[in-house]
């Protein structure tokens, strides 16, 4: 169960959207909205339809249709205004009335909306306001929109002299979030033909980043995720990951006092054992492994090896093995796709019409074999290829942690280009090939590899090992590489290999790695069906 799901049946999916998450992606390569994230997560959610929206910073109840019957019914109900919606807002301005209704016409005015004078063109909007509670500093108000216009409540609140707390676009006082919450929605069920009210309580005090993580991460299934993603979460240049019972802090500088104080708070709040800090370096390969390891800064030390939980699977991590701890958290959702066999809405299942036991997958830069574990748990036979024996051994331990017989799978020590050529000569073919190379690497056989320069050659080698209509997973965390250039380069390489792209799905980094103007995307991933 996804934590933010309020209700689900054959026809409806109802969720409690956290603040800071778009209803849908604002552009093709932006972070997923909550609609996109659900739609591509499970086959049963692939038919989801957007029937109403909430602003990015507004939290609360959001209803999606799952069937044509539901879509027709809800569309009709929204059109004839028979659906009842109740919002709660906070304001810090004095409120002299107990209830009132505002009816105007709204039109866009730059980045905002505003009521227009009588006689001017605009969309009719009507909102009923009722005071719910008062305190010395704030008043909580119920807002019932009798129409459904963009920014309607925010505009009418501001024009009533009570701008929403945190809504600086419409004159509200600065606050950690926009204090507007869709508390409930009442609809006629499309199949049962009786009215249902779905509700979620407002909590304006919880931090937006906590609400976002709590909405999409089930702690019973996953205890490793990003807690603070730099500027996107209000901490420029600083990242913090939860790794089971420990925190890993990362920045290019040493730990600042305000960072240390926040780590201490997080340790208490999450009841964790210790916090480590890693100073990020642009000269990783010139740094001795011991010097590159994260250092303990608070709490008790972790054992040399400890395990975390992700999507119900266990992985071994370590703070003593150099720069990397053993798992890249931003690939969590892609690993789940290998585990479940479902890539995205409209994308063929990985196992297609074949038995999963006959599915063969090549993980070309396997590192500690996390992708391989998911593919094997999903029933495939996996070949894991890596330039490090140490990491392959680590991968075998990950297989063992999850009850997988590592001897039933292949672990190949060697350089990726060299071994892909060997496998091609032997006539080996795979149903799926995974390419998640480091941005920069160096080997004796192939020399220097730089993702932006050499990725095309890597793709050409990989597609020579793909069965017809096989699936290619391509990924890169080269932050400066433009997404369109990355995708275009993969397409060109597939064409150059004499193959063709039948279908593609671009997958941005998961919601706990939010993408904003201040924190652009670093991870680019695409799934391809290659003919």
Catalytic residues: 55
Between CA 87 and CA 61 the distance in angstroms is 9
Q: Does residue 415 sit in helix, strand or coil?
A: coil
Phi and psi of 27, rounded to 5°? -160, 165
φ and ψ at residue 434, rounded to 5 degrees = -105, 125
Query: Sign (positive/negative) of CA torsion 71, 72, 78, 79?
Result: positive
The strand pairing partners of 141, in sequence order, are: 89, 131
For 451, left (φ over 0), alpha (ψ -120 to 50), or beta?
alpha
Q: What is the DSSP letter of 317?
A: E
Could you give the CA distance from residue 151 to residue 125 in angstroms, rounded to a whole number?
10
Instruction: Give me the torsion for CA of 24, 26, 27, 31, rounded to 10°.
Output: -70
Residues in the chain, overall count: 531
The angle formed by the CA atoms of residues 378, 379 and 383, to the nearest 5 degrees, is: 100
**Distance from C-alpha of 280 to C-alpha of 433, rounded to nearest angstrom:** 31
The pair of structure tokens assigned to 431 is 């149903």
β-pairing, 246-251 vs 274-279, is parallel
Tokens describing residue 138 = 């704030």
Alpha-helical runs (H) found in 316-415 = 332-340, 370-377, 389-401
User: Residues 324-329: contacts with CB within 8 Å, 24+ apart?
Assistant: 324/367, 325/243, 325/248, 325/294, 326/368, 326/394, 327/224, 327/368, 327/370, 328/367, 328/370, 328/477, 329/224, 329/225, 329/226, 329/241, 329/512, 329/513
Cα separation, 300 vs 181, in Å, equals 40
Is residue 28 exposed (0-12), middle (13-18) or buried (19+ Cβ within 10 Å)? exposed
413 contacts 392 by C-beta, under 8 angstroms: yes
> Which residue, chain included where needed, has tokens 């220097």?
448
Beta strand pairing call for 180-188 and 195-199: antiparallel
CA 343 to chain CA centroid, nearest Å: 14
User: What is the token pair recorded at 421?
Assistant: 């050529």
Write out the two tokens for 249: 């802090």
Q: Using DSSP, how many helices (H) and how many strands (E) does the chain show?
A: 12, 27
> Which residues, in sequence order, are bridge partners of residue 333?
none
Q: Which residue has the tokens 């969590």?
A: 332
């Amino acid at each position: 169960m996804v934590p933010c799901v309020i209700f689900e049946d054959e026809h409806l999916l109802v969720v409690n959207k956290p603040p800071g998450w778009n209803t849908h992606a604002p552009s093709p390569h932006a972070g997923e909205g909550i609609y996109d994230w659900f739609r591509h997560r499970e086959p049963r959610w692939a038919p989801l339809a957007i029937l109403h929206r909430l602003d990015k910073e507004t939290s609360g109840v959001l209803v999606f249709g799952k069937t044509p019957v539901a879509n027709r019914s809800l569309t009709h109900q929204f059109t004839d205004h028979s659906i009842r919606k109740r919002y709660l807002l906070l304001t810090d301005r004095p409120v002299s009335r107990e209830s009132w209704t505002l009816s105007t016409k709204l039109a866009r005015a730059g980045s905002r909306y505003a009521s227009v004078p009588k006689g001017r063109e605009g969309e009719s909007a009507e909102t009923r306001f009722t005071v719910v509670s008062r305190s010395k500093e704030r008043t909580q108000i119920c807002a019932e929109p009798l129409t459904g216009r963009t920014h309607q409540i925010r505009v009418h609140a501001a024009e009533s002299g009570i701008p929403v707390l945190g809504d600086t676009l419409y004159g509200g006082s600065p606050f950690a979030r926009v204090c507007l919450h869709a508390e409930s929605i009442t609809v006629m069920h499309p199949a049962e033909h009786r009215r249902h009210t779905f509700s979620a309580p407002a909590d304006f005090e919880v931090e937006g980043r906590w609400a976002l993580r709590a909405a999409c991460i089930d702690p019973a299934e996953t205890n490793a995720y990003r807690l603070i993603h730099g500027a996107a979460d209000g901490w420029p240049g600083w990242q913090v990951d939860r790794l089971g019972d420990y925190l890993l802090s990362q920045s290019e500088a040493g730990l600042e006092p305000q960072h240390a104080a926040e780590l201490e708070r997080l340790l208490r709040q999450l009841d964790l054992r210790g916090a480590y800090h890693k100073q990020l370096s642009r000269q990783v390969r010139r740094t001795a492994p011991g010097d590159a390891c994260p250092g303990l800064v608070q709490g008790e030390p972790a054992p040399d090896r400890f395990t975390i939980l992700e999507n119900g699977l266990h992985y071994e991590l370590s703070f003593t093995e150099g720069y990397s701890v053993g798992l890249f958290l931003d690939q969590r959702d892609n690993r789940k796709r290998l585990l479940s066999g479902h890539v995205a809405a409209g994308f063929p299942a990985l196992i297609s019409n074949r038995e999963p036991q006959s599915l063969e997958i090549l993980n070309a830069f396997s590192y500690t074999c996390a992708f391989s574990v998911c593919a094997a748990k999903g029933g495939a036979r996996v070949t894991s290829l890596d330039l490090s024996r140490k990491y392959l051994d680590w991968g075998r331990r990950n297989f063992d942690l999850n009850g997988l017989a590592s001897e039933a799978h292949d672990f190949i020590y060697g350089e990726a280009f060299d071994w892909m050529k060997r496998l091609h000569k032997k006539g080996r073919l795979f149903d799926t090939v995974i390419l998640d190379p480091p941005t920069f690497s160096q080997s004796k056989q192939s020399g220097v590899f730089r993702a932006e320069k050499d990725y095309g050659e890597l793709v050409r080698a990989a597609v020579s090992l793909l069965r017809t209509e096989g699936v290619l997973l391509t990924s890169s965390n080269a932050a400066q590489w433009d997404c369109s250039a990355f995708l275009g380069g993969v397409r060109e390489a597939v064409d150059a290999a004499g193959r063709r792209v039948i279908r593609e799905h671009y997958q941005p980094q998961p919601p706990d790695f939010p993408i904003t103007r201040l924190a652009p995307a670093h991870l680019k991933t695409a799934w391809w069906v290659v003919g």
